[in-house]
Amino acid sequence: MGKRRRRATSFGAPSASAGGQAGGMQQQLLQMQEQMAEAQEQLAEETVTATAGGGAISITVTGDQKCTDVKIAPDFLEDMDAEMLQDMLLSAVNMALDKSRELQEERMGPLTAGLPF
């Protein structure tokens, strides 16, 4: 029986065209990562405000869902019981968070469109 010759293989070594594609994809991912970081920084600075009780309660939240301000009109408290105040605050906080999530989707949506997750 004669000797068999082995074929040379190069596992893990990308071809020239595959290397170019991988490099381009990596560059795109890095660029997207930078854009997302920038958008997140901007979201942390942007705010949205929601009101309840005809404007007597005002809640301000950043685009990254941090509450930065709560205002309650003093005259609103004169005829208010604790349970009603709690309901109004809860409503205003939830509306502000909803607005913040909408802002986040508006800013981040274009950057994540088409991603598989």
Q: Considering only the top CATH level, what class is 19-110? A: alpha beta
Q: What is the pLDDT of residues 66-85, one digit of tens each?
A: 999 999 999 888 888 889 99
Q: What is the pLDDT of residues 34-67, one digit of tens each?
A: 888 888 888 889 999 999 989 999 999 999 889 9
C-alpha–C-alpha distance, residues 37 and 20, integer Å: 26
Domain spans of the chain?
19-110
Specify the 3-state DSSP secondary structure of 3. Answer: coil
Structure pTM? 0.66
